[in-house]
Amino acid sequence: MKTIHAVYEQGVFKPTERVELPEHCHVEFEPRPVASNANNGAALADVYAVLSERYESGESDVAARHDEHQP
């Protein structure tokens, strides 16, 4: 069976995606805290900031060299 991700709220584990189990099915698991996605937004913003920078490479038409390293 695949890993099921859940959020613990008000004493209840709530899956973050649909779970293919019958109603009232008993399950056994060991909760393992994972890093929150809350920081991912800030980290992605930093990555996009770097990617959005323009750098002068000295090449005026990089598309002209597109196939240079192709077999």
Residue 70 included in any domain = no
Domain of 39 in residue numbering reads as: 6-55
Has this prediction a pTM greater than 0.85? no
Residue 67 included in any domain = no
Contact 15, 4 (CB under 8 A): yes
14-42 burial: b if 16+ Cβ within 10 Å, else e: eeeeeeeeeeeeeeeeeeeeeeeeeeeee
| Average pLDDT, 10 consecutive residues per value, the chain (71 residues) | 86 91 91 74 81 80 78 68
Residue 68 included in any domain = no
The predicted structure's pLDDT at residue 37: 62
Per residue in 12-23, pLDDT (tens digit) is 999 999 999 999
